Structure 1
Amino acid sequence: MQVFDGHNDALLRLYQDSTGKAFDAFLNGGSDAHIDLPKARQGGLVGGLFAIFPPSVRSDDLSARMALAGYDLPLPDPLVHPFGLDSTIAMASILFRLEEASAGQLTVCRSVADIEAAIARKSLAAVLHIEGAEAIDADLQMLDVLYAAGLRSIGMVWSRPNHFGHGVPMRFPSSPDTGPGLTDAGRRLVARCNQLGVLLDLSHLNEAGFWEVAELSDAPLVATHSNVHALSGVSRNLTDRQLKAVAASKGVVGLNFATGFLRADGRMDADTPLETMRAHLDAMLDILGEDGVALGSDFDGALIPAVIGSAAGLPLLFEHLSQAGYSEALLEKIAWRNWLKVLGRTWKA
């Protein structure tokens, strides 16, 4: 099964490695990363949204602290604009250098036609995505520059606040209704992304911001890597009401593999079975329908089920779903077709 994935943090991992070894290992394999080119080929990963996440200055191990039975982690301080811009440009450069060094094994894609062409020639189709828009000024001038460079998807906030809006804290148990929504700059960002055809990712945005985007945007609502709040009551997950709004817009939600967003106890624990992942997919299908469900693994950015382990383990998930009665046509929709369709309905390039 070929897989197009809605979210990974491979670029952050490479950005934080000062030795250059992670860059080489992405191309040639040999590391414990979730994604590299050999693991992608082994697992059928043919492309995805490659996130740029400007990291917070504080570098707490969130996964370790989210292994507790309950938690309410304080949000990092907002990023100052120069660091957000510098780190974003650095990670974009890493992606372009990977493309150059890969000898055709990775292609930066700016349209659905680009993705389809890359997949046809067995090149990993990488779409430039931003998670946390601290690189973009309130007047949105840098958005135009990044779009010209290939940016096609943006989450205006990570969990910390910025001048566009407010994200959800890492909190369990918790509703996603955790504070105020968008700022005036955030509302302008929604409008400009609609004009350009940039996908707006609702993952990490709090509930008030979600409903403002739903009211303002003329594009399908998309959460690239979120799960079902009714099954795992962490603030990051979507309520049934939110999922119904995504369905009404003909949008998509990508299943997040992060174990803390899958489990009923909210804990980051690698001992999480495939049945738990399937329960979220079943619930998503009930509300979103077959055309609204996809994958958003969070590879290289979260603790995922050990049974999958990395991109190489993706076939195990599809084998499990097939044995549970998912048809081949439905598996193809979840694996890649739904992503390409919603990107086609959103992008203008």
Structure 2
Amino acid sequence: MKKLPNIKAVDLFCGAGGLTHGLVRGGIKVVAGVDLDPQCRYPFEANNDATFFEEDVGTLTADRLRKLYGRDGLRLLAGCAPCQPFSTYSRSGRNPRYEQEWPLVSSFGRLVEDLKPDLVTMENVPQLADHSVFLEFLSSLSDYRVWWDVVDCAKFGVPQTRQRLVLMGSKLGARAPSLGEGSHVAKSVRETIAQLPPLPAGGIDPEDNLHISSKLSPINLKRIRASMPGGTWRDWDEELLAACHRKATGATYPSVYGRMEWDKPSPTITTQCFGFGNGRFGHPEQDRAISLREAAMLQTFPRDYEFVPKGGRVVFDKLGRLIGNAVPVRIGEVIADALVNHVMDTWREAA
């Protein structure tokens, strides 16, 4: 068994722990997660041997981080700054100043410059690359060998059509770590969630309170029964159409009120993935939207990943946000593999 390097990570904007869980699976020790959302504490700490700190990354200091890392090991600063400014789900109610400044990405860059960790990784929306704040972030990595690309997560074992920007930087060796092109055959919805017990709309698995589906109104129950996997609302009879579908602008939303297909990856899991009318989030076979557990598994969280305490209240919008905003665990794992292999390669080259 190969000896793994002692890499210690702090996960900024850690959320429910998707990136952390993947890094740990890939052989990296995560010592802490930082997030301003108190809802993240339970899932982060219940599933990971790391401490959650409810703090604002915008006011976090490098001195604070140094104390979390301790004295030994290589330091990895990791994270995914919230991407709401470029959400394609809703463009209403945005703060133009927030869009322009991307303050949390800038805070990440500031901490890199002040802390000077050995390794850096960031995951974010592809649109980030088109904005000046990304160039500013890259300038904070002037002392690093840097690789970044927009990756198709399905090629790395995530059962979704999910595109994400992944960046890695290193102060070690002569080359940057890299994910490469990805070589996985796309994993399907069937392979990921078919083994879960069936549910009616509004039902809950007595053995797993996260395997719960939202209720459907009588009209939406008729709509999902008229929906074919991979089809659209254009397949429905006239009386089932919603008012928005009857407008000319409705033609631009063909994927709302859709079912997933068993033998293809799912669409991108969003914060509203528990609602049938919010995208192609209908179960391929059962007359309901996917459950929160199914959404989490499509985000490659393990089936037993805990999001609420036993007997705790399940709130769809809060847990949907944690699941939809998470870095898929599998992406964290392949990032960890790349960083570990990079460090080991530098050892061999130096020997």
Fold match, TM over 0.5? Answer: no
Provide TM-score, normalisation by structure 2: 0.34
The higher radius of gyration belongs to: 2
